[in-house]
Chain A
C-alpha cells in the first residue's frame, strides 16, 4: 500500500492483520536508518512474534528507504516530513491509535510522532536509541568517510542492495539539521527504552528513560546491529505492549 502526502514523496507500507486478533491496538514499526521494514523487522522475527500475539502491524518503508521514494535533497528529510508520512499512513489505514515501536532513527521518529500527535499514540518503544547526537563528529558532507559510530553505520547500509547512498546522505543531513532534544521529555505515555549493552548509539538511554518516567531494558552482549533480533528485546516489547 502507499500514501502520497503533500510533498509528492510516496511512502509504501504493509498492513498485516493477524489471523486471530487479540484486541490490542495496532503496532507501528519504524525501522532504522539505511534499512527497511522487511530487513529491520520482518527478517528479525518481529512480524511473526506480533502475529502470534494477535497484533496488527503497520510497517512503512520510511522515505529514502526500501520501496518508498528516495529524493536526494536533504530538505525532504526533516523530522516533520516523516511524521506527516506516518500520520498519512495511519489515516489511510483507518487507524486511530497505535503503539509506536522504533529502532534507532525510527525511535527518534516515534518520539517526534508522539510529541506531534499524542492522540494517535498509546505507548512508545525506543529501541537502539539514546539522547546523544547520533551524528557527533561525522562529516555529513561525506558520511561514511570517517570512523564515528554513524560513519560505520553509513558504510554498512550504503552497500546494501536497493539503497541509494545519495538519498541516505540527504536523509542524514536532513535529520541532523534538527538535532534531537529531550526537552520536552515524553511524558504522559508509557515509554520503554531497550538497547544492546554494547550499543554506543544508545548511550544515555537509561537516563532518558528515567527522564520520561519510563522503563529501560539492557540487552546483554548485543550491539547496535544485532540487538534488534534479540529474543530479550522482542519479549520486553511484547510484555510492555500487553499489560
Chain B
C-alpha cells in the first residue's frame, strides 16, 4: 500500500496562546496511532492538554523533545498515512514545506485590552 507523509503542526490551543511545552509523547516513532487516540501531552501557561491524533497512521518523526517549547504552527509530528487517506484538499490542512506560516501568528497575539 502506498504511503504518504503528512506533518501535523501544533494547533492553535486558543485564548491567545502562542506556544506550548511538550510534556510527554503518548506515541513513539514506528508505532501506529489511531485517529483521536492520545498523541502528545503539552502544557501552556494556562493548562495541561492532551492533543488527540488527527490521523490514523504510522509515526515517522517527532519534531520536538519532551520539555521543548514549540510555537503554535511549528511541526509537531509526521505521520505516514495510506495514500488513499491522505487529504487532497484542506480537511486536515496539509502544510506544504514551502508555505510560510506567519499569517497564523499575527492572529494569535494576546488581546491588548
Contacts and interface: CB of A to CB of B under 8 A. Distances in A.
Interface of A: 35, 39-40, 43-45, 48-49, 156, 159-161, 225-231
Contacts of A229: 23, 41, 43, 48-50
Range of interface residues on B (Cβ < 8 Å): 10 to 19
B38 A231 contact: yes
B68 interface: no
Contact of A39 (B37, B45, B47, B50): B47
12 contacts: A35-B47, A43-B47, A43-B50, A45-B38, A45-B52, A49-B38, A159-B46, A226-B43, A226-B48, A227-B48, A231-B24, A231-B26
Given A45-B50, A229-B49, A230-B23, 14 more contacts: A39-B47, A40-B47, A44-B50, A45-B41, A48-B36, A161-B15, A226-B23, A226-B43, A227-B48, A229-B41, A229-B48, A229-B50, A231-B26, A231-B41
A156 B52 CA distance: 25
A44 B49 contact: yes
A79 B49 CA distance: 28
A222 to B, nearest CB: 8
Which secondary structure dominates chain B's binding surface? strand
Interface in B21-35: 23-24, 26
B43 A225 contact: yes
A231 B25 CA distance: 10
A230 B24 CA distance: 8
Nearest to A228: B48
Shortest Cβ-Cβ A-B pairs, 6 listed: A45-B50, A229-B48, A226-B48, A43-B49, A226-B43, A229-B41
A105 to B, nearest CB: 15
Contacts of A225: 43, 47-48
Interface string B1-23: 00000000000000100000001
Nearest to B36: A48
Contacts of B37: 48
B46 A160 contact: yes
Contacts of A40: 47
Contacts of A160: 15, 46
Nearest to B13: A43
